[in-house]
Structure 1
Amino acid sequence: MPPNLTQIPPANRVILDGFINYLNNERRYSPLTAESYSRDILKLFKLADTTPISELCDHQIRRFIAQLHSGGLGPASLARTLSAWRSFYYYLIRDYKFKHNPCIGLRAPKLTHNLPHGLSPDEAVRMVDLPTNGDTLTVRDKAMLELFYSSGLRLAELVNLDLTEIDFSDASVRVTGKGSKTRIVPLGKHAISALQAWLVVRQKLASHEDGALFVGRNGGRISSRAVQLRIAGWGIKQGITSGVYPHLLRHSFASHVLQSSGDLRAIQEMLGHVSISTTQVYTHLDFQHLSKIYDAAHPRAKKKS
């Protein structure tokens, strides 16, 4: 557990605040990414203990990574942590005249590119085919589920959507992804239908001044945690025992479309991946299994309305 802000020296608090401002205002990182970096820097402060961060050497950073690894942190998390530390030291060199970056040349333990478990097409369709029965929250949840699975959005991307970013005439949604980069993602007919149904009842929950597409019980923009809890609950109700969460739906979207279409570049654009190498993890799947079941690019493409 990283220390909280009250447990670190005031000088380090000032440095951390400056770094977070740098991430938010200069690098244009999302609040969630900046918060993640903050947690990683707090880990560094804790591991350094009484050693000034200006005096840390590469062998000490290597030892810190080993400690985190032995404590159960996986390769992906370690790589992210090391990346955060490296960025932190670049900032310190620029703004605090530090002499060197002790993270340069260090690598986290090698990532194993095992594809995480995804939903089967039947499970995914069952998950999004919610019987709404006119319930406002269920109508909203169905629209969120359709966007996750039909358009492959990230959790933060969905939560931050505004009403003005849905274009029914063009069957698309304008998404702001990592690094504040925008992309246009197509909307399937099922997603359009679910969104239109939600917009009919949205005013029952929404505050007049709130332009958020999805709102919570309090009338304001729904929180990421609320979305996670609602989706997990629906997974249980729909009989999917392995657990359902937003990124699983995004992953299932990419896996199912790619298995049927084989168009890796199109998937890269829809997911908002900067590098094709990030998308290539999906090529480890069996391309034939779903192709025999679904002959369209998306498993729901030919499902009867």
Structure 2
Amino acid sequence: MKNDKILSAYETWLLASSRSDGTIKLRMRHVRALARRLPLALARERQLQEVLGDCRHLSTETRHSMLASWRLFYGWAVTKRFIMADPTAELESIPVPVRMPRVARDRDILMALQGSAPRDRGLVMLGRYACLRLTEISTLHMRDRDGDLLRVLGKGNKERIVYVNDDLAHALTRIELEQPRGFYFPGGTDGHMHPQSVHKIIKRLTGWNPHALRHAGATAAYRATGDLRAVQDMLGHASLLTTQRYLHLDDAARRAAAAGTIIRPPSSLAA
């Protein structure tokens, strides 16, 4: 079967799924790149290994994502009987090293909020106080707010409830009073502001990317509650393991953990 025909059928299947537009574009980009190298229906494990070997100049994260895209494609192709065997079945996984998350410093956030315009305050506070993703910030609409409650449409078109604290609620109210009802952050001509524009504004104001604000907010939320499940729900993560990677342990927490290992003698022995 020619690559064009199988790619068209696969894209139709992806579009009918609950995956986000960004995920669909990424998966299709990886499979199309492979199709430029090989006939997809005839590819063998050794050939895929060679392609991965040729991509060693790319980051581990990128190669891990490529392989995930291939596995998804070939799993679908076997199920739909476009091919008989999955050439990715025996390929070794590409482990991604776990790195310490970058966490925005509170003092940088506070300095950014001082004297900022209502729009800019809203952008920063939604990232740090509500822990929203970049796209979630840029697409937030005034109809999504009901008092201290936000209905957020996240990855995979999954809706979740995020409650806002008093400071953030005040910032959103200021925006609502200053502009017509619609997106909190409208674009230059129509619709909402582009996520990359939001990224540039937050980075300029705080010195940190929006994801670092999300990490900082998640860490603060867990430190205040000790409730990992509640933080998971706030962030919109499918897995607690993902949420755990968002949490940053400061030196005080590490010292407290070390102090907790001390064996203290019973009072009778101490006497």
Q: TM-score range by the shorter chain?
A: 0.7 to 0.9
Q: Distance in 1 between matches of 2:136 and 2:72?
A: 24
Select the residue among 39, 63, 78 that pairs with 2:29. Answer: 39
SS at structure 2 position matched to 1:124: helix
Contact in 2 for aligned 1:78/1:108 (Cα 8 Å): no
* Partner in structure 2 of residue 193 of structure 1: 170
Q: TM-score, normalised by structure 2?
A: 0.84
SS at structure 2 position matched to 1:213: coil
Q: Give the aligned residue type for 2:29.
A: R
SS at structure 2 position matched to 1:151: coil
Select the residue among 214, 228, 232 that pairs with 1:250. Answer: 214
Residues 44 and 269 (structure 1 numbering): CA distance in 2 closer, same or farther, change over 3 Å?
same
Identity within the alignment, %: 27
Larger Rg: 2
Question: Deviation digits for residues 159-216 of structure 1, max 9, x if unmatched?
Answer: 2322211111xx111111122111101111111111111112223xx8xxxx433212
Aligned-pair CA distance for 1:256: 2.5
Select the residue among 47, 55, 80 that pairs with 2:65. Answer: 80
Q: Give the aligned residue type for 1:114.
A: R
Q: Distance in 2 between matches of 1:113 and 1:258?
A: 20
1:39-118 equivalence runs, <5 A: 39-46=29-36, 49=37, 51-68=38-55, 70-74=56-60, 76-95=61-80, 97-118=82-103
Contact in 2 for aligned 1:124/1:252 (Cα 8 Å): no
Compute the RMSD of aligned alpha carbons: 2.6
* Partner in structure 2 of residue 280 of structure 1: 244
Q: Distance in 1 between matches of 2:211 and 2:4?
A: 33
SS at structure 1 position matched to 2:168: helix
Q: Give the aligned residue type for 1:58.
A: E
Gaps of 5+ in 2: 257-271
Q: Distance in 2 between matches of 1:42 and 1:259?
A: 44
Matched, 1:156 2:143: no
SS at structure 2 position matched to 1:174: strand
Q: Distance in 1 between matches of 2:124 and 2:46?
A: 46
Q: Give the aligned residue type for 1:57.
A: R
Q: Give the aligned residue type for 2:132.
A: L
Aligned residues between the structures: 256
* Partner in structure 2 of residue 177 of structure 1: 154
Select the residue among 213, 216, 220 that pairs with 2:187. Answer: 216
Gaps of 5+ in 1: 1-10, 133-137, 293-305
Residues 58 and 87 (structure 1 numbering): CA distance in 2 closer, same or farther, change over 3 Å?
same
Q: Give the aligned residue type for 1:223.
A: H
Q: Give the aligned residue type for 2:59.
A: L
Contact in 2 for aligned 1:90/1:101 (Cα 8 Å): yes
Q: Give the aligned residue type for 1:246.
A: P
Q: Give the aligned residue type for 2:244.
A: Q
Question: Deviation digits for residues 109-156 of structure 1, max 9, x if unmatched?
Answer: 3222122221122223333x1413xxxxx4222212111111111112
Q: Distance in 2 between matches of 1:287 and 1:174?
A: 35
Residues 221 and 262 (structure 1 numbering): CA distance in 2 closer, same or farther, change over 3 Å?
same
Question: Deviation digits for residues 204-258 of structure 1, max 9, x if unmatched?
Answer: xx8xxxx4332122242111121112222223xxxx3xxx222121112112322
